[in-house]
């Protein structure tokens, strides 16, 4: 086994090389992942992942592991989001995640970072142990869903239309649940042309919306104005998105404290397939 002691940022790593390491690290993951360089670039753009805040574990010139970090603000960041941690199988067992954080947390503190946030699959015990040993603690449990939408017809009086310039502050006011990093309004806006937003209009008033990443068919955000709930608008939006994008949909990171959302999604045909813990560390 080659032991890794070289930890530095990903500034000099190309997207294809990073993508190859990502796919190798996640090839035997609980939920297998395989990205193309294009999808990885979209992920990095949408989540605000920056190479100079991300960490690589190098064996010579080979990237053996990584932690991808996003910032909340490019000018004066105070929060980092771990958008992906992966270690190639050949280099596992070396506590590389802890070593990367041990080396870089002092660097982040000097840069003004005060908190790091991440999500980890609830059954991934080695990862949970590594994060806990680093100082992370669980803040909430979140669930993910996927499936083929099967809902009823659109109720009378609802108009569904794409809006390329939504009033994001208005749409955000419809939400009760605090979204995780990749599902925030700012993340959706950063994804730009890769995400489509449809709105439901009733009597000239915006009653709800759904934003979906077009390539992955992953719902980024969805909410209904409180005055228009339980009128079939959410089901209509789900069905419309499924019809337009021609395939099954998924949505991740629904807070366990909102069982009504869980119930709605399952009634619409999306089954829960994964649970995660959101964790954070105060620096």
Predicted confidence (pLDDT) per residue in 5-22, tens digit:
999 999 999 999 999 999
State how beta strands 55-59 and 62-71 pair: antiparallel
For residue 43, give the CATH number of its domain.
3.40.630.30
Q: What is the pLDDT of residue 30?
A: 83
User: Is residue 216 domain-shared with residue 260, that is, in the same domain?
Assistant: yes
> What are 90's two structure tokens?
């050949």
Confidence of residue 123 (pLDDT cuts 50, 70, 90): very high
- pLDDT, tens digit, 9 for 90 and up, residues 152-185: 777 889 999 999 999 999 999 999 999 999 999 9
User: Is residue 130 domain-shared with residue 150, that is, in the same domain?
Assistant: no
Last residue of a domain, one of 115, 135, 155: 135
Number of separate domains in the chain: 2
Q: What is the pTM of this model?
A: 0.91
For 218, the domain range is: 145-277
What angle do the packed helices 125-134 and 96-110 form, to 10 degrees?
40
8 Å CB contact between 181 and 213: no
pLDDT > 70: what percent of the chain?
A: 99
Question: Does residue 175 lie within any of the structural domains?
Answer: yes
Question: Does residue 1 lie within any of the structural domains?
Answer: no
User: Is residue 86 domain-shared with residue 160, that is, in the same domain?
Assistant: no
User: Is residue 149 domain-shared with residue 273, that is, in the same domain?
Assistant: yes
Q: In what order do the strands lie in the sheet with 205-213?
A: 6-9, 55-59, 62-71, 79-87, 115-121, 271-282, 137-147, 249-255, 218-224, 205-213, 195-202, 159-162
């Amino acid at each position: 086994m080659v032991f890794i002691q070289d930890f530095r940022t990903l500034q000099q790593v190309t997207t294809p090389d990073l993508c190859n390491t990502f796919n190798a690290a996640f090839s035997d993951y609980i939920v297998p992942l395989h990205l193309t360089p294009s999808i990885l670039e979209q992920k990095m753009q949408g989540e605000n992942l920056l190479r100079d805040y991300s960490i690589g574990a190098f064996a010579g010139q080979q990237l053996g592991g990584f932690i991808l970090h996003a910032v909340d603000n490019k000018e004066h960041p105070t929060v980092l989001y771990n958008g992906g941690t992966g270690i190639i199988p050949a280099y596992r067992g070396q506590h590389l995640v802890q070593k990367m954080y041990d080396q870089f947390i002092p660097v982040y503190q000097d840069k003004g970072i005060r908190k790091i946030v991440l999500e980890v699959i609830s059954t991934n015990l080695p990862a949970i142990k590594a994060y806990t040993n680093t100082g992370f603690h669980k803040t909430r449990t979140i669930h993910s869903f996927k499936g083929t939408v099967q809902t009823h017809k659109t109720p009378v009086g609802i108009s569904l239309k794409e809006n390329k310039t939504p009033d994001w502050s208005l749409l955000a006011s419809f939400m009760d649940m605090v979204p995780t990093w990749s599902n925030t309004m700012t993340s959706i806006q950063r994804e730009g042309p890769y995400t489509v937003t449809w709105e439901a209009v009733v009597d000239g008033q915006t009653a709800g919306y759904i934003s979906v990443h077009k390539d992955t068919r992953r719902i980024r955000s969805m909410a209904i104005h409180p005055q228009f709930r339980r009128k079939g608008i959410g089901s209509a939006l789900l069905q419309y998105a499924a019809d337009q994008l021609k395939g099954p949909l998924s949505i991740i990171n629904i807070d366990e404290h909102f069982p009504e959302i869980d119930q709605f999604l399952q009634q619409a045909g999306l089954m829960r397939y994964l649970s995660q813990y959101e964790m954070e560390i105060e620096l």
